[in-house]
A and B are shown apart, each in its own frame.
Chain A
């Protein structure tokens, strides 16, 4: 609140170069990485490798889409990883009734988590970080309690097919992520809900006075984010062929926030960049893959990731004329 207040009358003036960089930097970076790999990395630009990368990044993309919506309302959802764990813990309990009921139960868990988060933010008026922190802490614990702290192999053929199936050579998981990206982009740009979401993020008091259903929009956004996270949890479970609530989705909130921020969506709300978010997730994935291909250890990948986040935020920060 205090840091962004314009009380000093500083005008937020964006200089041309960083503005361009914020908008198109992530695309340029992905292109540069691809070019670099095409030239210097063996077996990188092969269909098999790209396919692997896309399959790996798909769950992150799905979670990041929900996160982008939440961040667009000047919020953040730390509980996405725990939501994935909840979804994966619930799946084996209901797979006996078939994949559809199990899937529904998992998604309902996402709805519940989102509704709790949304209510805490919109009705009680908590800061999003605190509101979602509670379920971040408690959600995974709940998942572990439900699963009795154990890893369970998935035997259900339908679910496994979801993880390994493909249409026209494109894995189902990637297809789902792609379709969801299109849907979310449509929601943000073409629906009243999407525009109201952006307005609520831009100026909540004004939105309320303009008669917008602020509470409903906020709860809706967190519910969407929860559902997307739960779906990502289901897909990741299908890929892993096992339900592991203690590990699944660990640090997912970090990856998702990174993808959103690197993709150029400001943390201050009032704008959602869907394509940027998808590209941001891709960038982080390609970067890790590149480093791995060049035998650089995980530690280097983490430090590189840290540096990229800092650069992205530095570029996107509010420029102040002082």
Chain B
């Protein structure tokens, strides 16, 4: 492709035209910064303030606690981030998370690998089904994953005799260790989640697959005409989301030593909230996994703080999350406008 730039026949290049657009103005840059790192800034501020205000907050113990609790939703939100960047949405992750936990707990009697692989296979299949219906049959992501939310929960109920049976993970098994073991005080789930985020970040920013996620979300028609495998990208991203949700469920089952059946309801919305707070556009085409990590942590810290203030009803958690969500999305909206003018 360099041949053109050195083509001898090309007449003298015309003088630069209008394209010498002025570099980003300060305001533009600020808006862009806030959009990308706003969640991080708020998180840092909140943590700093809380450390001074609540003596029990700034302890290592509490940090480990928050980290472990956040790690499961973080893994789910990672998959959600990728889906949302393609302009889609995956509402089935909560059910798939619960299903993954039940499958892992049931399979743990057959050993470590069975407990890990069975949920991945089944949840991957559900993700693939989502992807195929969305990408190949052209159905709306919102409604397809709503249906599989129901379907996965139905499957879970069928497996557990209408929720009457709770499968237990054998004590001291390697699988239970995966959920409960620690390194330097931080549980394996935390490390696993961090590793997945690192991989997710590289995949998103530095691979062709990552680029095609942005392209599909930014303009699916353009991506098609540019020769990108749009349908395949979509199927893959839902597959990844299903896999991650199932894996998070399995991890959670290992930590709790059982496949809890009533878990995961509403988790999809927490995950979406974290992704949006992290600066990923719900309309697709822009976003980052690091932002999602901060979004997840931010919500986890808020929950932790509400627990710290003993007098508060735990229902305040959802009130605060809801209010926070409004503030963030409204702010994003105005920031986006500020950037455009």
Tell me the A residues contacting B by CB distance below 8 Å. 1-3, 5, 7-8, 76, 120, 124-127, 129-131, 133-142, 144-145, 148-149, 254, 257-258, 261, 267, 297-303, 305-307, 309-310, 313-314, 317-318, 320
Known: A133-B325, A141-B316, A314-B139. A309 touches B221 (CB 8 A): no
The distance from the CB of B181 to the nearest CB of chain A, in whole angstroms, is 33
| B50 on the A face (CB < 8 A) | no
The distance from the CB of B167 to the nearest CB of chain A, in whole angstroms, is 16
A298 / chain B contacts, CB cutoff of 8 Å:
154, 157, 162
| B10 on the A face (CB < 8 A) | no
- Quick check: B157 and A299 within 8 Å, CB to CB? yes
- Quick check: A141 and B284 within 8 Å, CB to CB? no
- Quick check: B147 and A129 within 8 Å, CB to CB? no
| B55 on the A face (CB < 8 A) | no
Other-chain contact of B153, A138, A261, A267, A302 (Cβ < 8 Å): A302
Known: A2-B217, A141-B319. A318 touches B138 (CB 8 A): yes
- Quick check: A306 and B151 within 8 Å, CB to CB? yes
| B71 on the A face (CB < 8 A) | no
The distance from the CB of B19 to the nearest CB of chain A, in whole angstroms, is 24
- Quick check: A301 and B326 within 8 Å, CB to CB? no
- Quick check: A306 and B221 within 8 Å, CB to CB? no
Query: Bound complex: CA of A317 vs CA of B139, how far in Å?
Result: 6
| B329 on the A face (CB < 8 A) | yes
B149 / chain A contacts, CB cutoff of 8 Å:
254, 306
- Quick check: B138 and A137 within 8 Å, CB to CB? no
Within 8 A of A (CB), among B315-341: 315-323, 325-326, 329-330, 333
B222 / chain A contacts, CB cutoff of 8 Å:
7
- Quick check: B318 and A120 within 8 Å, CB to CB? no
- Quick check: A138 and B217 within 8 Å, CB to CB? no
A76 / chain B contacts, CB cutoff of 8 Å:
142
- Mask of B206-243 contacts with A, CB within 8 angstroms, 1/0: 00000000000111111011000000000000000000
B142 / chain A contacts, CB cutoff of 8 Å:
76, 129, 267
- Quick check: A120 and B330 within 8 Å, CB to CB? yes
- Quick check: A145 and B313 within 8 Å, CB to CB? yes
Q: Which residue of A lies closest to B327 (CB)?
A: A134
Query: Bound complex: CA of A137 vs CA of B225, how far in Å?
Result: 39
**In this complex, which of A136, A138, A142 has the most chain B Cβ atoms within 10 angstroms of its Cβ?**
A138
Other-chain contact of A313, B89, B144, B162, B218 (Cβ < 8 Å): B144
The distance from the CB of B198 to the nearest CB of chain A, in whole angstroms, is 28
- Quick check: A144 and B138 within 8 Å, CB to CB? no
| B269 on the A face (CB < 8 A) | yes
B144 / chain A contacts, CB cutoff of 8 Å:
310, 313
A148 / chain B contacts, CB cutoff of 8 Å:
313
- Quick check: A129 and B157 within 8 Å, CB to CB? no
- Quick check: B330 and A139 within 8 Å, CB to CB? no
Other-chain contact of A302, B151, B283, B326 (Cβ < 8 Å): B151
Known: A8-B221, A254-B150. A134 touches B282 (CB 8 A): no
- Quick check: A141 and B151 within 8 Å, CB to CB? no
- Quick check: B157 and A302 within 8 Å, CB to CB? yes
The distance from the CB of B261 to the nearest CB of chain A, in whole angstroms, is 11
A320 / chain B contacts, CB cutoff of 8 Å:
138
Query: Bound complex: CA of A139 vs CA of B315, how far in Å?
Result: 10
- Quick check: A307 and B151 within 8 Å, CB to CB? yes
**In this complex, which of B222, B315, B317 has the most chain A Cβ atoms within 10 angstroms of its Cβ?**
B315
- 15 A-B pairs within 8 Å (CB atoms) are namely A2-B284, A120-B326, A124-B330, A126-B330, A131-B329, A133-B273, A133-B325, A137-B322, A141-B315, A297-B157, A302-B154, A303-B150, A303-B155, A309-B147, A313-B147
| B143 on the A face (CB < 8 A) | yes
Other-chain contact of B315, A8, A145, A297, A299 (Cβ < 8 Å): A145
Known: A141-B318, A297-B157. A2 touches B220 (CB 8 A): yes
B326 / chain A contacts, CB cutoff of 8 Å:
120, 134, 138
A134 / chain B contacts, CB cutoff of 8 Å:
322-323, 325-326, 329
The distance from the CB of B46 to the nearest CB of chain A, in whole angstroms, is 19
B319 / chain A contacts, CB cutoff of 8 Å:
138, 141-142, 145
Within 8 A of A (CB), among B122-165: 133, 137-140, 142-144, 146-151, 153-158, 162
- Quick check: A267 and B140 within 8 Å, CB to CB? yes
